[in-house]
Amino acid sequence: MLPYVFLFVLQMGYMPESIATFSNLWSLMLALDHQAGDIMCKIIQLLKSCPRLYTLRIVLSTGVDKEHKKLESIVYRHERLTCFEILGFLGTEYQIESCKYLLKLAPRTKKMMINCDLPELLSPSFYLLDKLEPESVINALKAVSNDVNVVFIQKKHLII
């Protein structure tokens, strides 16, 4: 058995009612088609099929998911997930709410790395996090889980 197995799911719009169980999957990198909607419900379905998952790396949409009210009624909790890495974080309200919801899904989370690593060529107005204090994001997440260590990774690089 390999200590880490990575599964890449790209452009997933449709997800069948039942999917295979990945009982030996420890780490998952997930990029979903954000046009598909109902993203968090798909994430929950994937988490249910990965009972031993410890690390989830995910690209969160900057858009709006209209399913947040429906999500509050879901009582599923993943018992092993301890680390999240959020990729492409811009600091939108939806992304912050999604991070809070992920912490509720995984009560044993010890670390959430928020990667704000964006290309330097983007317009300065594209960097919402410059306007939004990282401390306010950390405080919002700590309100959900005081035990989580929130780390911001923020560096600009030039695309050639």
Q: Does the pLDDT at position 136 exceed 70? A: yes
Q: Which of 21-30, 62-71, 128-137 has the highest mean pLDDT?
A: 21-30
Amino acid at 85: E
Q: Which of 68, 28, 63, 66 is nearest to 48 (CA)?
A: 28
For the chain, domain boundaries: 9-65+74-153
- pLDDT at 51 (0 to 100): 93
The band of 52, judged by pLDDT with boundaries at 50, 70 and 90, is: very high
Q: Of 3-17, 74-88, 146-160, where does mean pLDDT reach its minimum? A: 3-17
**pTM of the entire predicted model:** 0.77
* Nearest one of 70, 66, 74 to 48, comparing CA atoms: 74
Question: Rounded mean pLDDT of 79-95?
Answer: 89
Query: 5: helix, coil or strand?
Result: coil
Is a pLDDT exceeding 90 seen at residue 71? no
